[in-house]
């Protein structure tokens, strides 16, 4: 699942570590989501979006390669 999490996080100068603790998962989970290597739960997507001040669509909808 390609997405805009990494680019958005970097623009905000937040580390994977910090994002992870804010949304209640581990750093590894954030890393794998950013790589697009797995398929996060809706709740986690919503938590990440709120933490990055974006909506679901902005982070996860029809993200271009």
Partner DNA sequence: ATACAATGTAATATATAACTTGCATATGTA
Partner DNA sequence: TACATATGCAAGTTATATATTACATTGTAT
> What residue ranges bind a second copy (CB under 8 A)?
1, 39-43, 45-46, 49, 55-57, 60-61
Answer with the entry of a second copy, DNA, none that 29 interacts with (C-beta below 5 to 8 A by kind).
DNA
Question: Please, which of residues 21-60 interact with DNA by CB under 7 A?
Answer: 24-29, 31-35, 38-41, 44
Compute CA distances 44 → 10, 56, 65, whole Å. Answer: 19, 11, 22
Closest to DNA by CB, 43 or 55 = 43
Q: Measuring CA to CA, which residue among 22, 12, 17 is closest to residue 44?
A: 22
CB 31 within 8 A of CB 6: no
Of residues 1 and 7, the one with the C-beta less far from a second copy? 1
């Amino acid at each position: 699942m390609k997405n805009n999490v990494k680019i958005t996080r970097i623009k905000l100068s937040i580390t994977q570590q910090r994002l992870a603790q804010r949304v209640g998962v581990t750093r590894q989970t954030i890393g794998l989501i950013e790589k697009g290597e797995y398929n996060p739960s809706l709740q986690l997507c919503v938590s990440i979006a709120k933490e990055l001040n974006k909506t679901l669509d902005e982070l996860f909808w029809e993200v271009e390669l």
